[in-house]
Amino acid sequence: MDTINFRVYEIHIAFAHDHPARERLFWQGTLRGAIGHELYTRFCYHPLKCGNTCQNPEECLYEQIFGSQPGNDRKPWVLSSLRMMDGQNASIRLVTFRKPEVYSTAIMEAIACAGKRGIANNQKFEVLQIFEKVDESSPSIREEAASMLAKNGADFPVDMQWETRSPLHLTHHGTFQKMPDTKILLNAAYRRLADLSLPETETDTEKVYTLPANFFAYKTTFRRIEEVFRDRYSTRQKRSIRMTGIEAQVYVENTPLWAFLLLKMAGIIHMGKYSVFGFGNLETSLVEYSEG
């Protein structure tokens, strides 16, 4: 997974007027549409000729960032839910990968333009500050992982805890997992990272990925688990779509160190279904970790 390259940013914005509470849920979905409009206007080379198939995908940033194929969860960015600090000030979390520096610049410029134009009933906002979450970006994560693996080895047993920052939707054999097994969780994490390691032109996302065989016996304790749902309106399908997931805090004993590192990296860039809409953001930490 050394080919994974991603950056994490926190963007602080201020609305021109108090933002109604009823409009905060999935506001990032509306913002995503506005970003797509700005990118299309700025970067699409032949809007009348392309139709549903981009004629210049190697250069068109709209195609690379937003894509033209619905349901593609390998888009190189994720936008989190709006987090309100007060009635007018808020923050959103942006994760970009593959070409993070190029894509993040284009997306943040599009966000600023969308704010000036106004979205969702002409709600205008201003981008105040942008912070890169250096400790969550790939260079820092890889450096931390390399240091821990060098000191202890990949199979060093650890206890870890993972907690959802946004709902998590995992399936196994087509069934939604309300209490996901740790192996299912790790397979989903491995698949997410493997998919994003593929070249941009590779479309075989149905490839089966398997974890290393040396997975220890473990004990999983669900300290908190709740099934939740979010409704969003799809302008493409012209109907409301219900997205389900779980919110949980889970303690896992006696897992190899590589499993913790895998889950930590995948959780930062989001995993599972609906990740492109901000689902599947996990915070993973070691419990009583001791160096070898």
Residue by residue, DSSP assigns 63-118 as HHHT-SSTT-TT-SEEE---EESSSSEEEEEEEEESSHHHHHHHHHHHHHHHHHH-
User: What is the reported pTM?
Assistant: 0.81
Closest by CA position to 103, among listed 69, 155, 67: 67
Dihedrals phi, psi of 223, to nearest 5 degrees: -80, -30
pLDDT digits (tens, 9 = 90+) for 134-174: 888 888 988 988 999 999 988 898 999 999 988 999 998 88
Buried/exposed code over 96-114 (b: 16+ C-beta within 10 A; e: otherwise): bbbbbeebbebbbebbbbb
Closest by CA position to 21, among listed 84, 74, 104: 84
Q: Which domains does the chain have, with CATH numbers?
A: 6-132 (3.30.70.1890), 152-287 (3.30.70.1900)
CA dist 180 and 194 (Å) reads 20
Joined tokens for residue 255: 């897992």
| Of 51-60, 179-188, 200-209, 236-245, the least confident | 200-209
CB atoms near residue 225 (< 10 Å): 14
pLDDT digits (tens, 9 = 90+) for 39-51: 888 887 666 556 6
pLDDT for res 40: 87
Of residues 202 and 60, more confidence is placed in 60
